[in-house]
Structure 1
């Protein structure tokens, strides 16, 4: 299988990659049937959505968000760089913003159409696993629907402060994969792109701890 995570990445921060690592570790070593993760893809969202959401003062153009993601991957460690890369298709789509559901479905169709059907590089079809945090899952019901589609799965990673009632039901009813991090919760870092933007816009002693989660560029 391959992993795909989408989002603004405005800016990218270590938690984005930590979630990919956690899902890979879980699927290869803890999942009921082990899945081999061949690659992970980071797909920054189209400018039309990010700019309308954040405004001109906080928006980073897609070209630069993709570059920042690539630099961040390289600065993490060689192991991450060996299997994670940036997908530019979503951010450069000529018709504008496309939501995460169609993006994931099109990505599945493209990979299988190219690697399996056309070039015969792979003998068996590839499953695409959509990776997101618990916050995204709770507000986007379509994640659960995606998990039921052919050659697709959804892996949701726990995030502090978000209720788990819905995800616990979904694991049983739709097969969504939940990485609950039950043994790590007391030492989790919780940082968001919003906090990093706020730090740059208005640095205060209260948000100075955000510095350690900012990539040097």
Structure 2
């Protein structure tokens, strides 16, 4: 499924070359989703996960991919509010640039270009296989799936994502979501399951946890300002395609 046509590996090569040799394990992040449209929390969660894995677990995150979901899934879910895949890809690219994260974040097109809907597990394992086949490092690169706490709960702990020796799941806290499952599983499978939760009182990104693409679409229909929810480049693009 993944190939050089769907996945840009240049950020991985560049970050591997620029980083001094260490014993830290190399990691790549992937986050799937409709991104209909992408918003600030999507990228914020990737940044928080990168910082957490590097500071707490000693990983070296050499890249991250936003993987917009297949049109079949998004259209069935959102009906007339569905935004075509090529537009969602473009908005993700614009958001990454505006957030100044293009040195490590990229958009993966494998899901959208697939002939049919692909599961989260297959997308992650396919990316992992492709990266390791292309880079051929002595130590395989671990691919970690980034999920919000809401998705983790809806998928009953995402146990399938933790079966491979070279992957895992990083769960980002979302206020209002139950923590019983993540806390019970985290204590048992801490080597494959990472809980990204900022408990500091001065956490400036807490408000981002409440953002949703649904909220943005509704506010745009009501001609309300959305600059605090997503990026100016995304809003400008949405106006051009006139959703």
TM tier, smaller: 0.7 to 0.9
Please say which of residues 127-136 and 98-107 is displaced more in the overlay: 98-107
Cα distance change of structure 1 residues 46 and 186 upon mapping to structure 2, 3 Å threshold: closer
Q: Distance in 1 between matches of 2:47 and 2:158?
A: 20
| Structure 1 residue 202, shift from structure 2 partner | 3.4
Cross-structure match for 1:40: 64
Please say which of residues 104-113 and 45-54 is displaced more in the overlay: 104-113
Q: Secondary structure at the match of 1:213?
A: coil
1:43-192 to 2 correspondences below 5 Å? 43-55=67-79, 57-77=80-100, 80-94=101-115, 96-116=116-136, 122-141=137-156, 143-175=158-190, 176-183=193-200, 184=203, 187-189=206-208, 190-192=210-212
Q: Distance in 2 between matches of 1:179 and 1:43?
A: 20
Cross-structure match for 2:229: 213
| Structure 1 residue 185, shift from structure 2 partner | 8.0
1:199 counterpart = 2:219? yes
Q: What TM-score do you get using the length of structure 1 for normalisation? A: 0.88
Cross-structure match for 2:38: 12
Q: Distance in 2 between matches of 1:97 and 1:157?
A: 25
Q: Distance in 1 between matches of 2:230 and 2:109?
A: 22
State the aligned residue count.
202
| Structure 1 residue 200, shift from structure 2 partner | 2.0
Cross-structure match for 2:18: none
Cross-structure match for 1:25: 51
Q: Distance in 1 between matches of 2:77 and 2:142?
A: 31
| Structure 1 residue 187, shift from structure 2 partner | 4.2
CA contact (8 A) 1:195 1:210 kept: no
Question: Mind listing any 5+ residue stretches in structure 2 that lack a counterpart?
Answer: 1-26, 237-243
Q: Aligned-residue CA RMSD in angstroms?
A: 1.6
Q: Secondary structure at the match of 1:38?
A: strand
CA contact (8 A) 1:148 1:174 kept: no
| Structure 1 residue 6, shift from structure 2 partner | 0.2
